[in-house]
Every structure is written in C-alpha cells, then in structure tokens.
Amino acid sequence: MGDVSGKRPTITHVIFDMDGLLLDTEKFYTEVQETILARFNKTFDWSLKAKMMGMKAIEAARVFVEETGISDSLSAEDFLVERESMLQSLFPTSELMPGASRLIEHLHAKGVPICLATG
C-alpha cells in the first residue's frame, strides 16, 4: 500500500537519460537513417523505427539493414560506423528539451544530486 498520509515521498536523487529527455537528439537518428536509406532509393518507415527502439545498437542495426533490404550492400556494422560519424557531426547542434534547464536548475537549488546515464 502507498502512503496514506497524502504526502509525496521526498526525491533524494535523480538519474536522467540524455537522448530525447534532456537533449532533443531523437530527430537526428531519424534524419541520419533517412539519409543513409536515400542512397539506396529507400525511405524510412516509422514502423521500422518502432521495431528498433529499445534494442542494443547492433541489434537495431541488423533489423535496419535486413528490414530495408540493404543488407547485401551495407552490413549492420558498417551502418553503425556511418551512422555514428553522421550523428557526431549533428550532436553539437542539439538543443535542450523544453523544461530541461528549469528542472535541472530546480533540482540543483534544492540540493538534489543528479546523474546522467546514457547508452
């Protein structure tokens, strides 16, 4: 059973994910994958993105090249190398997600330790 006093538990620590939570980087993954597929006259399918979400990078890469039919031309490993290179050039242009700065400043002002965890 939960606390029946109506009080919320005190937040003692916060762990943030970076991509898509603090920084607006998710769009970069889509952009890069669309660019790679365009070379093969293919388009990115949002159902494919849904299949790839939550997977380890190499697993998602295998799904990507197999589902799009480019595995004969581009291996999962080569896809990851190319994608990473393209992402590294885009990441410095990423912006904070709405409210991220305000939340971090609030937690800091309240003395709540924060940590960044990312894949």
Catalytic residue among 3, 19, 45, 78: 19
Asked if residue 50 lies in contact with residue 7, where contact means CB atoms within 8 angstroms, the answer is: no
Q: Is 19 an annotated catalytic residue?
A: yes
> Across all residues in the chain, what is the average pLDDT?
92
Helices and strands (H and E) in the chain: how many: 5, 2
63 with 88, same domain: the answer is yes
Query: Which pLDDT score, from 0 to 100, does residue 2 have?
Result: 58
| pTM for this predicted structure | 0.76
DSSP state of 13: -
pLDDT in tens, 49-68: 999 988 999 999 999 999 99
Catalytic residue among 3, 17, 24, 78: 17
Q: Is 72 an annotated catalytic residue?
A: no
Query: Which pLDDT score, from 0 to 100, does residue 43 have?
Result: 93
The domain of 12 spans 1-25+96-119
- CATH number assigned to the domain comprising residue 76: 1.10.150.240
Mean pLDDT of 72-82: 98
Asked if residue 11 lies in contact with residue 38, where contact means CB atoms within 8 angstroms, the answer is: no
